[in-house]
Amino acid sequence: MGQAPVLAAAFVAAAVTLAGGPARADAAMQAAADAFYKVYGTAPRSGGLPNATRRARYGAVLSPRLMRLLDQAQAAQIRFDRKVRGAAPPLIEGDIFTSLFEGPTGWTVGTCTGDAKTARCPVAMIHQAAGQQGSGQQSTQWRDTLVLARANGGWTVDDVIYDPHLAAGNTGRLSALLGMVVAQAPP
């Protein structure tokens, strides 16, 4: 064996390290996803944008970027409400943190993987309407993905990627949805 294979292996290892490291599972990533769903599960879900009190509950589990977007979207909603004086529905309704308008009745966080800066956590969601058990009606199941960001040594939720295969509901990303709200009611 010559030096070329050794140098090539060293180059690949350096490139992976410079790119943020290989995809890996991390207990801290899992803990951040679980912490988000603990807050989500205990927060009252009235749909639409969370008010200031609800946003404060999410403060420890959402990234500064996502919190800023939520604040901007809420400010845009207030501007819109003043303009239309109750003659139009809110700019956004339904559960913003999941694909389905009604939100889930249960969820399971899969294994989070990522690098030193970002991670993704698949989340299996289910919605079973009240009285649906034993009625022969099917439950709605889908998969969303939490996007985590690492800052100041900790992981927080930075975005939600909605399930592209769900026939009805939110599409794309939570950050894009919030950006659309802001764009509809400019300062």
Q: What is the pLDDT of residues 111-160, one digit of tens each?
A: 999 999 999 999 999 999 876 555 557 899 999 999 999 988 799 999 99
- Tell me: pLDDT of 10 over 60: no
Domain membership flag for residue 16: no
Q: Chain-centre distance of CA 95, in angstroms?
A: 11
- Tell me: pLDDT of 92 over 50: yes
Q: Give the pLDDT score at 133.
A: 56
Q: How confident is the model at residue 22 (pLDDT cuts 50, 70, 90)?
A: low
10-35 average pLDDT score: 66
80 contacts 91 by C-beta, under 8 angstroms = yes
- Tell me: pLDDT of 3 over 70: no
Higher pLDDT: 186 or 161? It is 161
Q: Give the pLDDT score at 102.
A: 92
Q: Give the pLDDT score at 151.
A: 85
Domain membership flag for residue 13: no
Residue 117's domain spans which residues?
22-184
Domain membership flag for residue 14: no
Work out how many domains the chain is built from and give that number.
1
Domain membership flag for residue 12: no
- Tell me: pLDDT of 76 over 60: yes
Domain membership flag for residue 10: no
Domain membership flag for residue 3: no
**Tens digit of each residue's pLDDT (9 = 90 or more) over 24-48:** 878 999 999 999 999 999 987 778 8
Domain membership flag for residue 170: yes
- Tell me: pLDDT of 1 over 50: no
How does DSSP assign the chain, residue by residue? --HHHHHHHHHHHHHHHHTT---EE-HHHHHHHHHHHHHHHHS---SSS--HHHHHHHTTTB-HHHHHHHHHHHHHHHHHHHHHTTSS--S--S-SSSSSTT--SEEEE---EE-SSEEEEEEEEEE--TT-TTTTPPPEEEEEEEEEEEETTEEEEEEEEPPTT-SSS--SBHHHHHHHHHHHS--
Q: Give the pLDDT score at 134.
A: 56
- Nearest alpha carbon to residue 163 among 118, 116, 107: 107
- Tell me: pLDDT of 64 over 50: yes
CATH number of the CATH domain containing 117: 3.10.450
Q: How confident is the model at residue 12 (pLDDT cuts 50, 70, 90)?
A: very low
Domain membership flag for residue 4: no
What values do phi and psi take at 40, rounded to 5?
Answer: -55, -45
